[in-house]
């Protein structure tokens, strides 16, 4: 079992930055693929980014590529999402997800989820 707790959300103006954190506890964090998803009101939960535990390779949604950066600190059991040049359409609840075996862009790949943190970008 892995427990995930997100933090760092808030209200920011368009063009601003936020850094989200996801602290993990439980099993060996370094052996888990870690991902970020987001869900806007009335919309499906969508993939944002993922970082693989083995080689640290990363994937990004096209909508955030070049603006968001995912990273992880295995010593701190934490994964981060640095979000720059934020846009109003980035407004959503951001969720951290983890899985020890599967790696991908869809929600059903991941067995463990945090409760989410709200990000609101004003225009």
In tens, the pLDDT along 17-76 reads 999 999 998 877 778 999 999 999 999 999 999 999 888 899 999 999 999 999 999 899
88-104: average pLDDT = 95
What pLDDT score was predicted for residue 62?
Answer: 98
Q: State the Cα–Cα distance between residues 70 and 55, nearest whole angstrom.
A: 14
What pLDDT score was predicted for residue 48?
Answer: 98
DSSP 8-state assignment for residue 121? E
DSSP result, 51-118: E-TTT--EEE-TTTTTTEEEEEEGGGTEEEEEE-S--GGG-EEEEEEEESS--SSSGGG-SEE---EE
For the sheet with 78-83, list strands across it: 2-7, 18-26, 78-83, 68-73
Burial 31-42 (b: 16+ CB within 10 A, else e): ebbbbbbbeeee
What pLDDT score was predicted for residue 28?
Answer: 78
Task: Assess whether pLDDT exceeds 80 at residue 112.
Answer: yes
What pLDDT score was predicted for residue 58?
Answer: 96
Confidence band for 80, pLDDT divided at 50, 70 and 90: very high
Q: Tell me which residue of 72, 58, 15, 61 sits closest to 37, measured CA to CA.
A: 61
Residue keyed to tokens 């981060």: 80
Q: State the Cα–Cα distance between residues 46 and 113, nearest whole angstrom.
A: 14
Confidence band for 117, pLDDT divided at 50, 70 and 90: very high
- Average pLDDT along the chain: 95
What pLDDT score was predicted for residue 103?
Answer: 87
């Amino acid at each position: 079992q892995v427990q995930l707790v997100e933090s760092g959300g808030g209200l920011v103006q368009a063009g601003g930055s936020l850094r989200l954190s996801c602290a993990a506890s439980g099993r060996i964090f370094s052996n888990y693929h870690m991902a970020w998803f987001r869900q806007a009101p009335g919309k499906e939960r969508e993939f944002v980014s993922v970082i693989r535990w083995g080689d640290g390779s990363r994937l990004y949604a096209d909508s955030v590529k070049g603006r968001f950066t995912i990273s992880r600190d295995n010593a701190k059991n934490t994964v981060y999402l640095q979000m720059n040049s934020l846009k109003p359409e980035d407004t959503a609840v951001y969720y951290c997800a983890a899985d020890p075996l599967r790696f991908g862009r869809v929600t059903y790949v991941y067995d463990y989820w945090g409760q989410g943190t709200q990000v609101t970008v004003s225009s």
